[in-house]
Amino acid sequence: MKNEKSGVDALQQSVLIHEEVKVVVVSCFEINLMGLNAILLAKKAGERARGFGVISGELRLLSLELQGEMQRLGLLTQELLAMATARLQAERRLARLTDAAAFSDHVAQMLNPAMEKTRSRMVSFNGGAHFAECLEDAYRTCTFGLVLARSARIESAYSGDLRAVLAELSEEFAQKITAVLPRLDALSRITKKLV
Amino acid sequence: MKKALLIASAAEHRWFAVSRDPARPNHLIDTNEYVVTTGADSLLCDPGGSEVFPAVFAALSEVIDPRTVQRIFSSHQDPDVISSLGLWHDFNPQIKCHVSGLWGGFIPHFGGEDNTIVGIPDEGGTLMIGNAPLTIVPAHYLHSSGNFHLYDPACKLLFSGDIGAALLPDADSSLYVEDFDRHIRFAEGFHRRWMGSNTAKKVWIDRVRQLDIELLCPQHGAIYRGEDVKRFIDWFDALKVGLD
């Protein structure tokens, strides 16, 4: 994070990140439920839908992986929030001290050490690289998810009576995962400002 | 800017009132801060909110060396009383804050560490300023559940926190009560609502009637002096307050 980034900016960014993360976590939850549903359907279809069932299980694991990545982002956001709060507090204190110092040179001289100390509390956030790393992992997970959704589509063609239902389900998997990508883009844009 | 005015002195020490800031924003209640100093040792009473810190600090600097402020006395926990504590600690992390033990875990939200808060027991106690003792007078439930005033027998001065407070019109800029009957109208609503208990009021009145008080110094409004002190106590005695 650049030194001039104010506490208010950092606080607002932490809120934006948190909101995006929440949306992705909801998607993860939905993918997980869809995966469970798909496994049950595949079981119903018998041996011919075994491949579809295995892929659905993989998609469930993938949703948990993505959720874990979002949790990491959430923890980083908490760090950002703590930093933003400390910085905001320091900024406000510095403003009051600066107001007092403006009364006279004598007062300014006395308050100078306190002002320096307060400035030193305005720590910069250096977690931008961690955000980027975490988002790259999430992108990789989603890309792999899309590959899995395509494979599920292929497997659905061999699933006997339930093939139409499973084909639809595989399409929903792909849509749900595709919908996560713009959220990751948004997170990437927000967190880029932190690097 | 606020001004620090000498209001009392005894052999060893002097009391200053820091009050009346024409630059104060209208949305903030006006407050009086008091400091008693020996020259080498100063005790600041109810230092005020963080928003008034610049004005208080600058005004104090005109009359004392702020580095001599080693202790703060906080009558109770309200933000207009003590939310500047964090700024005072920025200036000097060693400053001790004396406040009701009841509020010991709350006040550090404004600033300071656990080793800078000195909890006052419910029954009160004594603080020394130089060689002079100051009596910590309990005033619980008037209006805070853990509330104290400070009495200086040498100067016959009672710092009374919110008791005696008046919400004065801006035009009333006198530091002292000049016309008791007019002044008390601005104190009535405040006392009826903010003082929680007639029983607590009676306990306080019985206690302070035993003290020889020349100056009764509230955190808001004007200072009562001479005969007006007794007038105020009698008026307060007759006033029905709170819920009981």
The per-residue pLDDT for range A87-96, each reduced to its tens digit, is 888 888 999 9
User: What was the pLDDT predicted at A5?
Assistant: 62
Q: What is the mean pLDDT of residues A6-15?
A: 82
Q: What is the mean pLDDT of residues B136-142?
A: 97
Q: Is B146 exposed, middle or buried (0-12, 13-18, 19+ CB in 10 A)?
A: buried
Picking from A92, A93, A106, the nearest residue to B61 by CB comes out as A106
> What tens digit of pLDDT does each residue of A27-41 get?
999 999 999 999 998
User: What was the pLDDT predicted at B134?
Assistant: 97
Residue A2's pLDDT band (boundaries 50, 70, 90)? very low
For strands B224-225 and B215-217, give the pairing: antiparallel
User: What was the pLDDT predicted at A195?
Assistant: 52
Q: Which residue has the higher pLDDT, B26 or B238?
A: B238
Picking from B50, B58, B84, the nearest residue to A107 by CB comes out as B58
For strands B42-45 and B14-19, give the pairing: unpaired
Q: Which residue has the higher pLDDT, B73 or B3?
A: B73
Q: Report whether pLDDT(A1) > 60.
A: no
Across all residues in chain B, what is the average pLDDT? Answer: 94
Picking from A93, A107, A111, the nearest residue to B86 by CB comes out as A93
Q: Report whether pLDDT(B25) > 50.
A: yes
Q: Which residue has the higher pLDDT, A162 or A137?
A: A137
Picking from B58, B67, B86, the nearest residue to A100 by CB comes out as B58
Mutate to test the interface with B, among A93, A94, A98, A106 (most CBs of B within 10 A): A93
Chain A 92-121, residues with CB within 8 Å of chain B CB atoms: 92-93, 96-97, 99-100, 102-104, 106-107, 110-111, 114, 117-118
Which of B126, B169, B133 is closest to B148 using CA atoms? B126
Between the CA of residue B76 and those of A97, A114, B97, B163, what are the distances in Å? 24, 26, 11, 12
Which of A63, A111, A145 is closest to B88 using CA atoms? A111
Kindly give, in sequence order, each residue whose CB lies less than 8 Å from that of residue A146, ignoring residues fewer than 6 positions away: A174, A177, A178
| CA geometry: angle A90, B31, B177, nearest 5 deg | 165
Q: Report whether pLDDT(A84) > 90.
A: no
Alpha helical stretches, state H, A102-162 = 105-120, 128-156
Distance from CA of A110 to the nearest CA of B (A): 8
Residue type at B112 in one-letter notation: G
> What tens digit of pLDDT does each residue of B169-210 get?
888 889 999 999 999 999 999 999 999 999 999 999 999 999
Q: How far is CA A31 from the centre of its chain?
A: 16
SS3 content of chain A, % helix, strand, coil (to 5): 90, 0, 10
The DSSP-derived string for A19-32 is: HHHHHHHHHHHHHH
B217 contacts B173 by C-beta, under 8 angstroms: no
Percent of chain B residues topping a pLDDT of 90: 82
**A110/B67 Cβ within 8 A:** yes
Chain B 201-230, residues with CB within 8 Å of chain A CB atoms: none
In angstroms, rounded to a whole number, what is the distance separating the alpha carbons of residues A137 and A71?
A: 12
Strand order of the β-sheet with B117-120 is B3-9, B14-19, B33-37, B42-45, B69-73, B96-100, B117-120
The two tokens of residue A41 are 């359907």
Alpha helical stretches, state H, B8-130 = 53-63, 79-82, 85-91
Picking from A93, A103, A104, the nearest residue to B90 by CB comes out as A93
Across all residues in chain A, what is the average pLDDT? Answer: 89
B58 touches chain A (CB under 8 A): yes
Q: Report whether pLDDT(A3) > 70.
A: no
Chain A 165-194, residues with CB within 8 Å of chain B CB atoms: none
Q: Searching chain A, which residue's CA lies closest to the CA of residue B90?
A: A114
Residue A44's pLDDT band (boundaries 50, 70, 90)? confident
**B58/A96 Cβ within 8 A:** no
